[in-house]
């Protein structure tokens, strides 16, 4: 899943609006959502774009392909993006060519900072046989309740999250006892 957040910015009491355009080809990406997020900076909301991208892999394989993100590489990525001239993006009159040029430059920097790496996964199934599909679904539901609480912090969302967490904890304890 890919999430992109755009925020308006403010510098020394001067409002500077950040305008980001993200284009999606709905024929290729069926599952995506755009949600406005109130950021408290101004009357402009941030936009959260979430793209659900499924990666197919052999579940029995111990080899995975990942990208590593850490606090040292992310600033380098931002630095390289900010130092890119982007001149070739504006060399065309065609908006599609401009976007493709931008996207190619962006991906080139992204792939150089966060290269794909093949890693050997530990076999976690040995110790976690108690984790059923229903428990995984419940863990995802708990996460969604937590995110809902973060977006709308009030007593109702807090109580929903706490109650579900307590029930899930008991279900997990019982599942571990059965094995």
- Does residue 154 register a pLDDT over 90? yes
Residue where a domain terminates, one of 74, 89, 121: 121
Q: In terms of domains, do 8 and 45 share one?
A: yes
Q: What is the reported pLDDT for 13? A: 53
Q: In terms of domains, do 3 and 45 share one?
A: yes
Give the structural domain span for 4.
1-54
Q: In terms of domains, do 102 and 133 share one?
A: no
Q: In terms of domains, do 142 and 86 share one?
A: no
Q: Which of 108, 114, 115, 111 is nearest to 84 (CA)?
A: 108
Q: In terms of domains, do 111 and 147 share one?
A: no
Residue where a domain terminates, one of 121, 144, 164: 121
> Which stretches of 94-154 are DSSP H helices?
95-113, 133-151
Region 60-71: what's the mean pLDDT? 81
Tell me the range of 59-63, 94-98, 106-110 where mean pLDDT is highest.
Answer: 106-110
Residue 119 — very low, low, confident or very high, per pLDDT cuts 50/70/90?
confident
Q: What is the reported pLDDT for 18? A: 54
- Answer for the pair 149, 158: CB distance below 8 angstroms, yes or no: yes
Q: In terms of domains, do 10 and 47 share one?
A: yes
> How far is it, in rounded angstroms, from Cα 133 to Cα 140?
11
Say which residue, 21 or 37, is predicted with more confidence. Answer: 37
> How far is it, in rounded angstroms, from Cα 111 to Cα 73?
12
Q: In terms of domains, do 116 and 61 share one?
A: yes
Q: Average pLDDT of the chain? A: 78
Q: What is the reported pLDDT for 34? A: 75
Q: In terms of domains, do 94 and 139 share one?
A: no
The dihedral region occupied by 40, where left means phi > 0, alpha psi between -120 and 50, and beta the remainder, is: left
Q: In terms of domains, do 75 and 117 share one?
A: yes
Q: In terms of domains, do 105 and 64 share one?
A: yes
For residue 14, the SS3 value is strand
Domain count, the chain: 3
- Does residue 9 register a pLDDT over 50? no
Region 140-147: what's the mean pLDDT? 91
Q: What is the reported pLDDT for 108? A: 92
pTM for the model stands at: 0.40
Q: In terms of domains, do 63 and 107 share one?
A: yes
Q: In terms of domains, do 46 and 74 share one?
A: no
Residue 178 — very low, low, confident or very high, per pLDDT cuts 50/70/90?
confident
Q: Which of 83, 116, 117, 84 is nearest to 103 (CA)?
A: 84
Q: What is the reported pLDDT for 127? A: 64
- Does residue 151 register a pLDDT over 50? yes
């Amino acid at each position: 899943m890919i999430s992109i957040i755009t925020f308006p910015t403010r510098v020394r009491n001067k409002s500077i609006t950040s305008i980001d355009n993200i284009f999606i080809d709905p024929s290729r990406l069926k599952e995506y959502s755009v949600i406005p997020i109130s950021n408290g900076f101004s009357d402009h909301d941030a936009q959260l774009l979430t793209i659900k991208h499924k990666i197919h892999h052999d579940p029995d394989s111990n080899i995975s392909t990942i990208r590593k993100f850490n606090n040292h590489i992310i600033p380098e990525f931002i630095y390289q993006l900010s130092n890119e001239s982007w001149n070739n993006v504006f060399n065309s009159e065609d908006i599609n060519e401009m976007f493709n040029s931008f996207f190619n430059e962006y991906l080139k920097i992204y792939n150089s900072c966060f290269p794909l790496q093949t890693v050997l996964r530990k076999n976690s199934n040995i110790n976690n046989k108690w984790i059923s599909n229903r428990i995984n679904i419940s863990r995802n539901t708990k996460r969604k309740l937590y995110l809902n609480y973060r977006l709308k912090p009030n007593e109702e969302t807090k109580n929903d999250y706490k109650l579900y967490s307590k029930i899930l904890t008991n279900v997990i304890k019982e599942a571990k006892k059965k094995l």
